[in-house]
Amino acid sequence: MAQIIVLGGGLGGTIMAYELREKLGKEHRIAVVTLGTKYHFVPSNPWVAVGWRDQASVEVDLAPVLARRDIALHPQGARRLHPDQKRIELTDGATLDYDYLVIATGPDLAFDEIEGFGPGAETQSVCQVGHALQAKAAFDKLVANPGPVVIGAVQGASCFGPAYEFAFILDKALRDAKVRDRVPMTFVTSEPYIGHLGLDGVGDTKSLLESELRQHHIKWICNARVDKVEAGKLHVSEIAEDGTVAATHEVPQVYTMMLPAFRGVAAVRDIEGLTNPRGFILVDKHQRNPAFPEIFAVGVCVAIPPVGKTPVPVGVPKTGFMIESMVTATTHNIARLIEGKAPNAQGTWNAVCLADFGDGGVAFVAQPQIPPRNVNWSSSGKWVHAAKIGFEKYFLHKVRSGKSEPFYEKLALHMLGIEKLKEINVSEDGAA
Is there a contact between 350 and 365 (Cβ–Cβ < 8 Å)?
yes
Q: What's the angle, vertex CA 327, arms to CA 323 and CA 328, rounded to 5?
A: 120
Query: DSSP 3-state assignment of 304?
Result: coil
**3-state class (DSSP) for residue 44:** helix
Is 353 labeled as catalytic in the residue annotation? yes
CB-side exposure of 180: number of CA atoms within 13 Å?
A: 15
In which region does residue 36 sit, left (phi positive, over 0), alpha (psi from -120 to 50) or beta (all else)? left
Q: Which of 127, 222, 301, 353 is catalytic?
A: 353
Active site residue: 127, 159, 222, 301, which one? 159
- 355 close to 161: Cβ distance less than 8 angstroms: yes
DSSP string, 139-192: HHHHHHS---EEEEE-TT----HHHHHHHHHHHHHHHHTT-GGG--EEEEESSS
Distance CA(167)–CA(89), nearest Å, equals 40
Give how far Cα 102 sits from Cα of 185, 193, 215, 331, Å: 41, 35, 44, 10
CB 224 within 8 A of CB 342: no
CB of 153 closer than 8 Å to CB of 190: yes
Q: Active-site residues: which are they?
A: 159, 353
